[in-house]
Structure 1
Amino acid sequence: MSARRTPTPPATARRFLGRLSLPERNFVAEALRTETVGGVLLLVAAVTALIWANVPSLASSYAAVRDFHLGPAALGLDLSIGHWAADGLLAVFFFVAGVELKRELVAGELRDPKAALLPVVAALCGMAAPALVYTLTNLAGGGSLGGWAVPTATDIAFALAVLAVIGTSLPAALRAFLLTLAVVDDLFAILIIAVFFTSDLNFAALGGALVGLAVFWWLLRKGVRGWYVYVPLALVIWGLMYNSGIHATIAGVAMGLMLRCTRREGEEQSPGEHIEHLVRPLSAGLAVPLFALFSAGVAVSGGAIADVFAQPETLGVVLGLVVGKTVGIFAGTWLTARFTRATLSDDLAWPDVFAVATLAGIGFTVSLLIGDLAFAGDAELTDRIKAAVLLGSFIAAVLATVLLKVRNAKYARLHAEEERDDDLDGVPDIYEQHDPAYHLRMAEMYERKAAEHRRLAEVVGRAGERYDGPA
Structure 2
Amino acid sequence: MNTSTTGERKPRSVWATIRRIAASDRISGLIMLSFAFVGLILANLPWSAHTFAAVAETHIGLPYTNIDLPIGHWAQDGLLTVFFLTVGLDLKQELTTGSLANPKAAAVPMLCAVGGMLTPPILFVGVISLFSWLAPPQSGVITIPTTGANIPFAEAIHGWAVPTATDIAFSLAVLALFAKALPGAIRAFLMTLATVDDLLAIVLIAVFFSSLNAWYWFIGIAACAAAWAFLVRLQRVPWLLVAIVGLLAWVMMFEAGVHPTLAGVLVGMLTPSREMYGETTPRASRYAEKLQPFSALLALPIFALFATGVHFEQLTPALMVSPIVIALIVALVVGKPLGIMTTAWLSTHVGGLSMAKGLRVRDMFPAACACGIGFTVSFLIASLAYSNAELSAESRFGVLVASLIAAAISGVLLSRQSKHYEQAALLGRE
Cα deviation 1:32-57 (Å, max 9, x = unaligned): 94444321221121122122223221
C-alpha spacing 1:200/1:226, structure 2 compared with 1 (3 Å): closer
Matches within 5 A, 1:282-431: 282-299=294-311, 304-311=316-323, 313-338=324-349, 339-343=351-355, 345-346=357-358, 348=359, 350-375=361-386, 377-412=387-422
Q: 2:27 aligned with 1:37, yes or no?
A: yes
- Between the aligned partners of 1:290 and 1:371, the Cα distance in structure 2 is 17
Cα deviation 1:210-244 (Å, max 9, x = unaligned): 21111111223444513222112111111121111
Q: 2:56: which partner in 1? A: 66
Q: Please, which moves more after superposition, 156-165 or 184-193?
A: 156-165
Cα deviation 1:282-338 (Å, max 9, x = unaligned): 111211111001111235799644334332x33222211011101011111222222
Q: TM-score, normalization: structure 1?
A: 0.76
- Between the aligned partners of 1:31 and 1:169, the Cα distance in structure 2 is 21
- Between the aligned partners of 1:71 and 1:202, the Cα distance in structure 2 is 21
Cα deviation 1:382-440 (Å, max 9, x = unaligned): 101111111111111111122112223235568999xxxxxxxxxxxxxxxxxxxxxxx
Q: 2:186: which partner in 1? A: 174
Q: 2:256 aligned with 1:244, yes or no?
A: yes
The percent of aligned pairs where both chains have the same amino acid is 39
Structure 1: segments with no counterpart, 5+ residues: 1-29, 418-471
Q: How many Å apart are 1:345 and its aligned residue?
A: 3.9
Structure 2: segments with no counterpart, 5+ residues: 1-19, 133-152
- Between the aligned partners of 1:274 and 1:241, the Cα distance in structure 2 is 26
Is residue 367–residue 389 contact of structure 1 (8 Å, CA) maintained in 2?
yes
Q: TM-score, normalization: structure 2?
A: 0.83
- Between the aligned partners of 1:190 and 1:104, the Cα distance in structure 2 is 16
Q: 2:269: which partner in 1? A: 257
Is residue 163–residue 378 contact of structure 2 (8 Å, CA) maintained in 1?
yes
Greater Cα radius of gyration, structure 1 or 2: 1
Q: 1:15: which partner in 2? A: none
Q: How many Å apart are 1:163 and its aligned residue?
A: 3.7
Q: How many Å apart are 1:254 and its aligned residue?
A: 0.6
Q: 2:202 aligned with 1:151, yes or no?
A: no
Q: 1:211 aligns with which of 223, 228, 235?
A: 223
- Between the aligned partners of 1:190 and 1:60, the Cα distance in structure 2 is 34
C-alpha spacing 1:150/1:343, structure 2 compared with 1 (3 Å): closer
C-alpha spacing 1:385/1:146, structure 2 compared with 1 (3 Å): same
Is residue 146–residue 374 contact of structure 1 (8 Å, CA) maintained in 2?
yes
Q: How many Å apart are 1:121 and its aligned residue?
A: 0.3
Q: 2:207 aligned with 1:191, yes or no?
A: no
Q: How many Å apart are 1:264 and its aligned residue?
A: 4.8
Is residue 92–residue 268 contact of structure 2 (8 Å, CA) maintained in 1?
yes
C-alpha spacing 1:215/1:264, structure 2 compared with 1 (3 Å): closer
C-alpha spacing 1:140/1:381, structure 2 compared with 1 (3 Å): same
Matched residue SS, 1:352 = helix
Is residue 166–residue 194 contact of structure 2 (8 Å, CA) maintained in 1?
yes
Q: 2:243 aligns with which of 226, 231, 236?
A: 231
Give the counterpart letter for 2:416 in structure 1. Answer: V
Give the counterpart letter for 1:152 in structure 2. Answer: T
Q: 1:270 aligns with which of 282, 287, 291?
A: 282
Is residue 43–residue 52 contact of structure 2 (8 Å, CA) maintained in 1?
yes
C-alpha spacing 1:94/1:414, structure 2 compared with 1 (3 Å): farther
- Between the aligned partners of 1:53 and 1:164, the Cα distance in structure 2 is 31
Alignment length (residue pairs): 385
Cα deviation 1:227-268 (Å, max 9, x = unaligned): 222112111111121111100011110101011112358431
Give the counterpart letter for 1:306 in structure 2. Answer: A
C-alpha spacing 1:415/1:91, structure 2 compared with 1 (3 Å): farther
C-alpha spacing 1:45/1:134, structure 2 compared with 1 (3 Å): same
Q: Please, which moves more after superposition, 62-71 or 122-131?
A: 62-71
Is residue 34–residue 280 contact of structure 1 (8 Å, CA) maintained in 2?
no
- Between the aligned partners of 1:171 and 1:83, the Cα distance in structure 2 is 41
Is residue 156–residue 179 contact of structure 1 (8 Å, CA) maintained in 2?
yes
Matched residue SS, 1:407 = helix
Give the counterpart letter for 1:37 in structure 2. Answer: I
